[in-house]
Structure 1
Amino acid sequence: MLYPLVSIVSLCWNRKDDMYESLKRIREIEYENLEVIVVDNDSTDGTIEMIEREFPEVKLIKMYKNLGIEAYNVGFKNAKGKYIVIIDDDSFPKKDAIKKMVEKFEKDESLGIVAFDVRNFYKYDDIKKTDYEEKNGVEEREYLMSFNGAGAGIRKDLFEKVGFYPEEFFLYFNEPDVAIKVLDLGYKIKYFSDIVSYHKFSPKNRVSWRAPFYYTRNAFWFIWKNYPMKLALKTTIKLVYSCFYYSLEQKTNIYLKAMFSAFKDINRIKGKRKPVRLEIAENLRIPFYLSFTFYR
C-alpha cells in the first residue's frame, strides 16, 4: 500500500513548553509521508524562536496578531496532504495513529472524519482495554457525533468543501460547525478506540470569561447558521431561557453578555446560513449544556 501525504496542522499561542513537547512526540510518529504545519498566533513567549531553532523541518506560519481559530484555516489551506490531522498545541497523536487513520480512510470513501480517542496526557495510558480492543480497535455505535479538535483526521478536499473552520467564532464550537456540514453532505464521522491522541487536559479547572462567553455566543450562531427554521427558533428560545436561569444560579452575567453579543453582532454570520437536513440537526449530539457549567 502506498501511503499518501498526511498534513498535521497545529495552532499555538504562548505555549512554548507544550508546543515543544508536542513536536518532539510528533517526530516519533511511525509514518514517513508526513508534513507538519504550525500556525503561530503571534506568540510573545519565545515559541517562534524555539520552533525555528529546534524543529527546522516544521513549516511555521506566523500570524501578525491572535486571530483565534481563523489562523487554523491558514494552516489548512497551506496543507498539501490528502488528509489533514488536527491537533492543539498541547496534544499529539500516538506513534501508530496516523497509519491506522489512513488505512481507515483508504478502505471507506464515505468516511469523512476519523475521530481519535483523545486521552488525558497526565494519565497517559491509564485507560486499560481488552486484548481485542488493543489489537483490533472498537468502533463507536452508529449515531451522529462531532469530533475533538485535539485529535482528528479529515479529508482535505472535504474540509475545503465545507469551508474549513468558522472564522467568525474566534474560539470554540468550531468542531460541531464542521461536523454538521460534513454529515449533511452524506459523509460519516467515526470514532476508533485504537486511534489515539494525547491532550494535556488542565489538572485544575481554569476559570476564565473566554470559555463561557464564546461557547454561549457561538452556540447561538451555530444554531442560526445550520438549523432549519422551526428547530432554530425552538432551540434559540431554550438557550435564551438557559442564559437567564444559569446567570441567576451561578451569580454571573457572562452568559447574558454572550447572548446579547450574539444578537448584536449577528451580521458576523450574514450570508452564512445554510440549513442542513432536519434529521441531521436533530440527531447530531451537541453539548449545549457545556456553556453553562463553568461557574458551578
Structure 2
Amino acid sequence: MKNFEVNTPKLSIVFLNYNRIRETRYTLAQLSRLFEGRDDVEVIAVDNGSTDGTREFLQTQADWARVLSLPSNLGIAGYNEGFKQAKGDYLLVLDDDSHPVDNITLDRIIQCLDTRPDVGVVACRIESLKGEPIYSWHLPQNDAPGTSMAFVGCGFAIRRTLFEEIGWYPTDLFIYQNEIEVAIRVMRSQYKIYYDPNCRVVHRESPSGRTNWRRVYYETRNTIWLIRRYFPFPMAAYLIGSRLFFGLIHALQSLEFRGYYRAVLDALHTPIEPQVLSPLLRQQLITFWRQNSVWHQLLARF
C-alpha cells in the first residue's frame, strides 16, 4: 500500500464518518481498491466525533489515508476540515456509505474538470449496489449527460478553489439542503453543474444514525431559510407556506411534533440576509420550486 505522503494528487476524495463503523470499513475497502496503482488521488477520512469505534478503526488506516479526528459532531461542517487539508485540484465528496464504482469514474471527473473551464461541479449518477439508479429530484430525470440544477451530496466533485471561494459547506445548516445552498453559490459564481451518468457512485443508503427528528427539524428549517434568502415576496410566502405544510405532514407521520415546532420557530425568527436571485437564476431552480410547491406536488401525485 502506498503512503499518502508521497502523493501529488489531482483528485482528493473526502468523506465524513459518524458512528457507522460497518459502512466506514466497507467504503475504505472500496477506496483502497481504487487507490492502488494511482499517484493522482488521495483519500481523506474525517471522523465527526464517533463513539462506536470508527475513530479508532480509521487510525489503523492512516498509513495510506489521511485521517482527521474531530472532538464532536459538527454536522456537515466536519467536511470542511477535510476540504481544507486537501491537496488536489478537485474534491470528490462522499458519505461514509457511498463509494465510486470504478476508476473510470475518477478519470472522467478529472477529464471533465481539466477540459471544461465552465464546469464547477460534476454531479455523479447515484446507484444502488445492484447498479440500479437511485432517482433524486436534484438530478436530471432522463439520466442523460448535461447541465444539472444541483447534485447529490454523497457523490459529486467540485473544484477545490471554487469551493473555498464560496465558503465550503454552510456551517449553519448542520445537515440537509447543503447541496442546494452550494449549487446556488456555484451558479452565482458563473459556473455550471454538469451531470455525467458515467461518473457512477454507489449509495448504500444505510439507515443507521439517521433519526426522524433531524429530518423533520433540519429539512423544514433549512428549506425555509433558503427560501427566505433567495426568493422575493410573494413567491417566498407561497413556498414557505408549502414547506410548513410538508413539514407538518412529515411530523404527523413520524410523531415528531416537538422537532417541527422548533423548526418553525427557528425558520421564521432567525435573521436572514436577503440575497434575492435574478429571474434567470430562479428559472434554473425551477425543480427546487416544484419540489417545494404544494400545487406542483399535488399535480405530480394526481
- Within 2, Cα distance between the matches of 1:169 and 1:67? 10
Q: Is residue 23–residue 55 contact of structure 1 (8 Å, CA) maintained in 2?
A: no
Structure 1 equivalent of residue 124 of structure 2: 116
Q: How many residues align?
A: 272
Structure 1 equivalent of residue 140 of structure 2: none
C-alpha deviations, 1:13-55, integer Å up to 9, x for none? 1111111111111112264311111111111111121111134
Structure 2 equivalent of residue 133 of structure 1: none
- Look up the SS of the partner of 1:28 in the other structure: helix
Query: How far did residue 226 of structure 1 move?
Result: 2.6
Q: Is residue 90–residue 158 contact of structure 2 (8 Å, CA) maintained in 1?
A: yes
Q: TM-score, length-normalised on structure 1?
A: 0.82
Query: How far did residue 86 of structure 1 move?
Result: 0.4
Could you list the runs of 5+ residues in structure 1 that have no partner in the other structure? 128-137
Taking every aligned residue pair, what percent have the same amino acid on both sides?
31
Q: Say which of 56, 70, 73 aligns to 2:80.
A: 73
Q: Is residue 10–residue 110 contact of structure 2 (8 Å, CA) maintained in 1?
A: no
Q: Is residue 180–residue 281 contact of structure 1 (8 Å, CA) maintained in 2?
A: no
Matched ranges for 1:42-61 at <5 A: 42-61=49-68
Q: Is residue 12–residue 42 contact of structure 2 (8 Å, CA) maintained in 1?
A: yes
Q: Pairwise CA RMSD of aligned residues?
A: 2.8
Structure 1 equivalent of residue 276 of structure 2: 275
Taking a change above 3 Å as real, the CA distance of residues 57 and 289 of structure 1, as seen in their structure-2 partners, is: farther
Q: Is residue 9–residue 42 contact of structure 2 (8 Å, CA) maintained in 1?
A: no
Query: How far did residue 260 of structure 1 move?
Result: 1.8
Q: TM-score, length-normalised on structure 2?
A: 0.80
Structure 2 equivalent of residue 145 of structure 1: 149
Q: Is residue 11–residue 88 contact of structure 2 (8 Å, CA) maintained in 1?
A: yes
Matched ranges for 1:71-220 at <5 A: 71-96=78-103, 97-121=105-129, 123=130, 125-126=131-132, 139-142=144-147, 144-202=148-206, 208-220=212-224
Could you list the runs of 5+ residues in structure 2 that have no partner in the other structure? 1-7, 134-142, 298-302
C-alpha deviations, 1:173-212, integer Å up to 9, x for none? 00000001111222111111111011112479x6621112
C-alpha deviations, 1:42-94, integer Å up to 9, x for none? 11111121111134221111111111011111111221110000000111112
Taking a change above 3 Å as real, the CA distance of residues 244 and 126 of structure 1, as seen in their structure-2 partners, is: closer
- Within 2, Cα distance between the matches of 1:246 and 1:13? 25
Query: How far did residue 100 of structure 1 move?
Result: 1.0
